[in-house]
């Protein structure tokens, strides 16, 4: 599983939600997001049905011979009503897309859209009421379907359903005002409208069931003192949720592995997953660098769910930073990388090798009053340097190479060679290359070709891959990090930080420039990145195990 995307979100971001659940629905945030998708689909389906109605009334009905009674009292308004319904459905779909970041308001708007559609349907149903025998209204079907699509509280469901059922009497009243004759006997009214009102009462049942399920999911998502809210990301090892402490106001990010996830793998693979999870927890808890992600809690819930509770960061990873805003100025690259070196230097001195340094595992954040504050994430592949030759649980599957192909050192790609802290130096050189050029060091059609290029091919200097000026000294430092022989690389992260500072000369990414950039591009909390992609030319955001 990749590093969690630990982000706060703008409430105006489409398809994003920060609430743990709605007071009207009692659903967790990610389930409410799914409800919003269904609401948008409701608009699309409605548009399709009204379009079909136009086709039937404009083309099919004349061919089949429309009953004359439909035109005797008043011209049959099917085309006009269906046309209005189509415009209404299209307009609602557009509004639903724009309101995706406000799910509770969207649910309220869907109620109005539902009632308007019921009115249009009732208008057509009661346009020419049967003179003697009443008929069952189509509103009964609509009243039963709506609560299953839009989960509301039972009370609100009942009120909206009763209002929808009342559209039939309103339609009949309009028909009477137009002078349409029909039977005014009580039996007629009871037989015509009672089934629809009964359906309105029955609609409370699915509303109660959905509400109960939402509450069960909410209770199931309470891990210790933390309550899970919105889903932030999902990977092969589990999922990451935004969470809140039930006693404190502090938000957090919770990475979980549920028992059923482990059950989907072999015993050996499940053991590898749990070992990575444990290693990540131990590494994060041991390291004290301010540039390493902070761990709040670690444990196992009563249902067997393993969880990590980490700080929730306000920022974006370096992969998305370059994808959205292009290559960075050399002085900013140095500013960011030196902070990564601070985190890695502490880890290396404690005998830990990260082994999965890549742009998507490095975040630049707001931290208090500071901006462009770097955090290194995901120590799930961390390796203790004294593990060589020991019978420790390996962190990769048999015959596999751990890491991300675009950022793997040659000795790791080759396999069977000793691994030390210099593999992180190589990966950080690949990150520097990405930040300076917006391109990978080696681009290939598949991971295996990429691994072979890391082993055999000489990298092109960054300055030759982009028109923007890059100091020659910085070129040299990056190429030194990418040396095939580990002995040719900087000996430590601290040495690399020093060489980076010397390579940039007097140019500096100072506080004023950093603040100006964030105010211009990221003035508010940022949204969750889109799902990762790993096609050539982009920095892969997933950790891969490549079979050898």
Query: Which residues are known catalytic residues?
Result: 356
CA distance 424 to 376: 12
Count of CB atoms situated within 10 Å of the CB of 63: 7
SS3 call for 396: coil
Per the CB < 8 A criterion, the answer to whether 503 and 471 are in contact is yes
329: left (phi over 0), alpha (psi -120 to 50) or beta: beta
CA distance 210 to 227: 20
DSSP conformation class of 525:
P
Closest by CA to 365, choosing from 281, 284, 293, is: 293
CA distance 373 to 432: 16
Any residues with CB less than 8 A from the CB of 444 and at least 6 apart, and which?
450, 453, 536
Per the CB < 8 A criterion, the answer to whether 546 and 401 are in contact is yes
Q: Is 214 exposed, middle or buried (0-12, 13-18, 19+ CB in 10 A)?
A: buried
Q: At CB < 8 A and 24+ separation, what contacts does 407-412 make?
A: 407/356, 407/357, 407/358, 407/431, 408/451, 408/454, 409/454, 409/486, 410/454, 410/455, 410/484, 411/486, 412/355
Q: Tokens 């030390």 sit at which residue?
A: 420
List, in sequence order, every residue forming a beta bridge with 491; answer none if it has no partner: none
How wide is the angle at C-alpha 153 spanned by C-alphas 151 and 157, nearest 5°?
A: 75
Count of residues in the chain? 548
Per the CB < 8 A criterion, the answer to whether 429 and 442 are in contact is no
CA distance 228 to 211: 17
Per the CB < 8 A criterion, the answer to whether 197 and 172 are in contact is no
- Could you tell me the two tokens for 260? 């059923």
Q: Could you please report the per-residue DSSP string of 362-420? A: EEEEEETTEEEEEEE---TT-EEGGGTTS-PPPSS-TTEEEE-GGG--HHHHH-SS---
How wide is the angle at C-alpha 511 spanned by C-alphas 507 and 512, nearest 5°?
A: 90
Count of CB atoms situated within 10 Å of the CB of 19: 18
CA distance 351 to 384: 6
Q: Tokens 């080696």 sit at which residue?
A: 442
- Could you tell me the two tokens for 181? 């004759």
Determine phi and psi for 86, rounding to 5 degrees: -65, -45
Most distant pair of Cα atoms in the chain: their distance: 99
Residue 75, CB-side half-sphere exposure with 13 Å CA sphere = 5
List, in sequence order, every residue forming a beta bridge with 28; answer none if it has no partner: 21
């Amino acid at each position: 599983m990749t590093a969690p995307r630990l982000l706060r979100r703008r409430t105006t971001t489409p398809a994003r939600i920060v609430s743990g659940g709605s007071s009207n629905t009692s659903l967790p945030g990610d389930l409410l997001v799914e409800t919003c998708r269904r609401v948008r689909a409701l608009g699309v389906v409605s548009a399709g049905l009204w379009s079909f109605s136009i086709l039937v009334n404009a083309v099919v009905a004349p061919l089949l011979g429309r009953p004359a009674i439909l035109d005797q009292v008043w011209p049959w308004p099917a085309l006009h009503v269906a046309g209005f319904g189509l415009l209404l459905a299209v307009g609602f779909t557009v509004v639903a897309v724009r309101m995706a970041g406000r799910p509770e308001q969207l649910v309220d708007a869907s109620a109005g859209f539902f009632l308007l559609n019921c009115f249009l349907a009732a208008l057509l149903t009661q346009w020419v009421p049967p003179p003697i025998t009443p008929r069952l209204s189509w509103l009964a079907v609509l009243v039963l379907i709506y609560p299953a699509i839009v989960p509301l509280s039972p009370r609100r469901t009942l009120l909206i359903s009763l209002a929808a059922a009342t559209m039939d009497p309103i339609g009949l009243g309009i028909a009477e005002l137009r002078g349409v004759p029909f039977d005014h006997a009580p039996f007629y009214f009871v037989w015509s409208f009672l089934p629809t009102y009964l359906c309105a009462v029955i609609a409370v049942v699915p509303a109660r069931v959905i509400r109960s399920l939402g509450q069960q999911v909410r209770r199931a998502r309470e891990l210790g003192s933390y309550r899970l809210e919105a889903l932030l990301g999902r990977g092969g090892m589990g999922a990451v949720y935004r969470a809140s402490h039930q006693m404190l106001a502090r938000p957090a990010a919770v990475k979980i592995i549920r028992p059923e996830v482990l059950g989907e793998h072999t015993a050996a693979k499940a053991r590898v997953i749990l070992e990575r999870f444990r290693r990540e927890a131990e590494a994060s808890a041991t390291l004290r660098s301010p540039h390493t992600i902070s761990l709040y809690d670690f444990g196992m819930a009563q249902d067997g769910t393993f969880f990590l509770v980490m700080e929730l960061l306000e920022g974006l990873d370096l992969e998305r930073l370059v994808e959205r805003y292009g290559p960075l100025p050399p002085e900013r690259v140095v500013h960011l990388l030196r902070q990564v070196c601070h985190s890695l230097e502490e880890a290396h001195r404690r005998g830990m090798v990260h082994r999965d340094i890549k742009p998507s595992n490095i975040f630049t954040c707001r931290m208090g009053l500071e901006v462009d504050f770097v955090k290194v994430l995901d120590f799930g592949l961390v390796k203790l340097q004294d593990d060589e030759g020991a019978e420790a649980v390996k962190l990769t599957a048999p015959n596999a190479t751990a890491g991300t192909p675009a950022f793997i050192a040659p000795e790791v790609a080759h396999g069977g060679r000793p691994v030390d802290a210099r593999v992180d130096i190589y990966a950080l050189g690949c990150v520097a290359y990405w930040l300076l050029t917006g391109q990978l060091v080696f681009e290939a059609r598949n991971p295996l070709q990429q691994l072979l290029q890391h082993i055999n091919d000489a990298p092109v200097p960054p300055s030759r891959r982009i028109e923007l000026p890059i100091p020659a000294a910085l070129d040299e430092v990056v190429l030194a990090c990418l040396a095939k022989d580990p002995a040719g690389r900087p000996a430590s992260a601290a040495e690399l930080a020093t060489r980076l500072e010397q390579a940039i000369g007097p140019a500096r990414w100072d506080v004023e420039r950093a603040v100006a950039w964030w105010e211009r591009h990221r003035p508010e909390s940022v949204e969750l990145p889109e799902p990762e992609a790993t096609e050539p030319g982009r920095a892969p955001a997933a950790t891969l195990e490549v079979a050898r």
